[in-house]
Amino acid sequence: MKKYIWPSVKLTIFMILVLAVLYPALIAAVSKAAPGQGKGKTISVNGKVVGYENVGQKFTDDKYFNGRPSAVDYNAASSAGSNKAASNPDYQKLVQERIDTFLIHNPGINREDIPAELVTASGSGLDPDISPAAAMIQIKRVAAARHLSENKVMALVSDHIRGPWLGMAGPAKVNVLKLNIALDTLK
Amino acid sequence: MNSEIIGVILTFILTLVIAFPLGKYIAKVFQGERTITDFLTPVERFIYRICGIDPHKEMNWKQHMAALLSINLVWLIYAFFILLFQSHLPLNPDGNPDMTPDLAFNTAISFLVNCNLQHYSGETGVTYLSQLIVITFLQFVSAATGVAAVAVLFRAFAEKTTEKLGNFFVFFTKTITRILLPLSIIMAVILAFNGTPASFDGKDSIVTLQGDSVQVSRGPAAGMIAIKHLGTNGGGWFGTNSAHPLENPNYFTNVVEIVAQVILPMALIFAFGFFIRRKKLGYVIFGVMTAGMLTLMIPNMISEISGNPLLHHLGLKDITAMEGKEVRIGVPASAYWQVMTTIISTGSVNSMHDSSMPLSGAMQMLGMMTNCFYGGKGVGLLNYFIFLIIAVFISGLMVGRTPEFMGRKVEAREMKIAAIIALFHPFLILVGTALSAYFAAHHPQMAWSVQPANWFNNPSNHGFSEMLYEYTSSSANNGSGFEGLADNNIFWNISTGIVMILGRFIPIIGPVAIAGILAKKKYIPESAGTLQTDTTTFGIMTYAVIMIVAALAFFPALTLGPIAEYFQSY
């Protein structure tokens, strides 16, 4: 083995330079031309950054559309899922509590109509989206909290639904942050 | 049919459409024929010259393995010490600490062996420098190591009787310059333009719309995420891997990432057929592997799409299994990824496997237990080769002939190696699980930093599954996990570290040794009595061998874990 060690060391040094220095530097340079300059796409309101388009944030206020439960309370510096198994009795209690809380905040909604994603934690704890159904079911509450007509809020939600990729593959979704920003401008 | 199912089918078709020509290209690269990347020849010559490598010096299988182990040893020592002292080195904008020795041991091995089990979380456990010069670097070179090893197999069966099987350093270098690096650059740019961070800026502080102060982790992630998939490595930049919305920003990037991890394992199968001029053998192997994939994919998909029975008990009509999954990806694309990432040893995740349904968990574990349907970079085909040799032997016995493969007699020595390799993987998994289960059951209050009683995030059978999954993933060099397990402590860091390193090098050395020994033997021309290995019948035989070995070895353990959980939940 001895005779292979020295070429191995030299090859290693060369490859570190190419793969761990030049390659990331190249990608960083190219990404300057990308939206967000490779730092992540941010969204500003009145010139102030209020969030990242792709990173979900916490909305608990009744006058905002709420996102999904998060195992890390939307801490974007420490992503994690709950890793709870469906068979776990503690987990069953937790979901039950989420359902009860949702019903308190959304009077007039039937338990059986609650979309599953609103009572289950996302994989990353930072899911920026909800499904169209999960947005629709919150319209009543949001409209009441803001003294707006439900039709107006409904129209806004419809505008913010992004259909499947290429119009045919994958789920439809609504970006919660973008929807809420638009909601704040609604009179 | 709904758009999410269409998405999955499109993804698979896209994978095939790319993998087939890529296989042709890879065969040409290793044959030294003309390809579009020939402009890199001077670069490679330059590398050989400054590193003191004679590219024309051919090696036998032992020299190949000596070279492979030498360079891996260099990487292991290098990676261990960088991780141990990372906080004292530059490029640490988030101020992350050094790794403890046991975590550095685990992490260095994990990335060296293409496993990418992560007992740390990317945002807090490593510095940007470590992410690049240890993690990203090892992701490239460990993948290239696997391909260089399987290239020996290619050479062994391409010629009649030979000891000369090419040069390890040449196979290795060409894999990087002509396959991994060009593809990674393309993919990293795609990711960067879809919102994955690529700049060196540290954490950002923002005030959210609702008025909370939040820090957002970032970093030069796009390049690493590209090679993590192309190299079937799987270790994520962020803690939640490709479930993280910066690591996998939308449905399109999800398609790109899942296609990227499957194309090279598939392409290598086609490349094998082209290289040894037996295309049909390549197609039969591909057929068997696809059948194996579907055997796991269909139950997993059904069990995920059927939803979570718990939600039904709680009175909901919508029981979509969204715990641990992301809205932009959805259930079918998550289920597709769960199976692909476990059969091909990537181990990146776009949903939390710990929260998937019991039967899906069983399928994911079976994917790693068989570990040869498409399989990891290079090593998938090597594992398959072991089962193929066993199938040749059994078929030979059944028809009363001396077993032969590709014109060489398969004799006692090769069979011993094949049997040992086939049993070694279950041995590592079951011994590891038994050991940890012993501590959990009999010494739950052991005075360790994390007491065995506190290892689990879920009780009962699912807790057992968390241990079984961890060792299966380690031995298969997969790297995904039932992440509820409290695994960053000495017991898990050391034990899985040992399992990972044995689970890597023994299953590389074994098949390469068999190939080397067979290649040296006298070539017997085919006759009417030769066992045809490129027929459907033989394909079914191989499939049966793989499934019977897996069932015999793992069924009892799976019964204690996911199967028992299934019957309790439904």
Please report the DSSP string for B103-139 in residue order. Answer: HHHHHHHHHHTT----SS-HHHHS-HHIIIIIIIHHH
Q: Give the best residue of B199, B248, B308, B566 to mutate against chain A (max A CB count within 10 A).
A: B199
Closest to B225 measured CA to CA, from B200, B177, B182, B189: B189
For residue B570, the model assigns a pLDDT of: 79
pLDDT at res. B451: 94
What does the mean pLDDT of chain A come to? 95
**pLDDT at residue B415 in the model:** 95
Q: What is the pLDDT of residues B485-524, one digit of tens each?
A: 999 999 999 999 999 999 999 999 999 999 999 999 999 8
pLDDT the model gives residue B182: 97
Question: Are B6 and A60 inside 8 Å of each other by CB?
Answer: no
Q: C-alpha angle B518/B176/B281, rounded to 5°?
A: 35
Q: Residue A59 and residue B192: Cβ atoms within 8 Å? A: no
B455-495 pLDDT tens trace: 999 988 999 999 999 999 999 999 999 999 999 999 999 99
pLDDT band at B42 (very low <50, low <70, confident <90, very high): very high
Contact of B137 with chain A, judged by CB distance below 8 Å, is answered with yes
Tens-digit pLDDT profile for residues A2-40: 789 999 999 999 999 999 999 999 999 999 999 999 999
Q: B258-287, pLDDT tens digit by residue?
A: 999 999 999 999 999 999 999 999 999 999
B241-256 residue pLDDT tens: 999 999 999 999 999 9
pLDDT at B160: 83
pTM: 0.96
Record: contact A78-B462, CB cut-off 8 A: no
Task: Name the residue in chain B with its Cα closest to that of A64.
Answer: B210
Chain A nearest C-alpha distance from B98 (Å): 18
Residues in chain B: 570
Q: pLDDT (tens digit, 9 = 90+) per residue, B395-435?
A: 988 888 888 898 899 999 999 999 999 999 999 999 999 99
User: Which residues of chain B have a CB within 8 Å of the CB of A84?
Assistant: 323-324, 354-355, 457-458, 484
Question: Sorting pLDDT into bands at 50, 70 and 90, what band is B322?
Answer: very high
Interface test with A, best of B45, B71, B323, B467 (most A CBs within 10 A): B323
Q: What pLDDT score does A140 carry?
A: 96
Report the residue of chain B nearest A133, measured CA to CA: B318
The whole-angstrom distance between A55's CA and the closest CA on chain B is: 6
Q: What is the pLDDT of residue B15?
A: 97
Note the pLDDT of residue B277: 94
Whether pLDDT at B393 is above 90: yes
> Is the per-residue pLDDT at B1 higher than 90?
no
Q: Would the CB atoms of B326 and A61 count as touching at under 8 Å?
A: no
Q: What whole-number percentage of chain B has pLDDT above 70? A: 100
Q: Per-residue pLDDT tens for B222-233? A: 999 999 999 999
Residue of A nearest to B196 (CA): A40
What's the mean pLDDT in B39-46? 96
Confidence of residue A164 (pLDDT cuts 50, 70, 90): very high
Contact B328 A128 (CB under 8 A): yes
Structure tokens belonging to residue B275? 């290289």
User: What's the Cα-to-Cα distance from B466 to each of B157, B179, B277, rounded to whole Å?
Assistant: 41, 36, 44
What does the pLDDT average to over B536-543? 95
CB-closest option in B121, B216, B460 to A76: B216
Note whether B322 contacts A: Cβ–Cβ < 8 A.
Answer: yes
Q: Across the interface, do A11 and B358 touch by the CB < 8 Å criterion? A: no
- Helix segments in B136-241, DSSP class H: 137-158, 168-174, 181-193, 222-230
Nearest to A120 by CA among A103, A96, A140, A142: A96
The ipTM (two decimal places) reads 0.96
CA separation for the pair B209, A58 (Å, rounded): 9
The two three-digit tokens of residue A57, written as one number: 């944030």
Nearest residue on chain A to B223, alpha-carbon basis: A24
Instruction: Give tens-digit pLDDT for B366-380.
Output: 999 999 999 888 799
CB atoms A11 and B329 under 8 Å: no
Segment B320-324 shows an average pLDDT of 95
Chain B residues touching A124 at Cβ < 8 A = 238, 240, 243-245, 326
Per-residue confidence band for B528, with pLDDT thresholds at 50, 70 and 90 = confident
DSSP H or E segment with residue B409 = strand B408-409
Q: Do A27 and B222 touch (CB under 8 A)?
A: yes
Q: Is the pLDDT of residue B110 over 80?
A: yes
A187: pLDDT strictly greater than 80: no
Q: CA A128, CA A45: separation in Å to the nearest integer?
A: 18
Question: Min CA distance, A176 vs chain B (Å)?
Answer: 11
Q: Which of B127, B352, B566 to mutate to test the interface with A (most CBs of A within 10 A)?
A: B352
CB-closest option in A10, A19, A95 to B140: A19
Per-residue pLDDT band at B526 (split at 50, 70, 90): confident
Mean of the pLDDT values across residues A153-175? 95
- Beta strand pairing call for B404-405 and B408-409: antiparallel
Q: What is the mean predicted confidence (pLDDT) over B323-349? A: 96
pLDDT score, position B399: 84
Chain B residues 18-57 with CB within 8 Å of chain A: 47, 50-53
| Tokens (6 digits) for B383 | 């594992």
Residue-averaged pLDDT of chain B: 95
* CA B237, B239, B245, B250 torsion-angle sign: positive
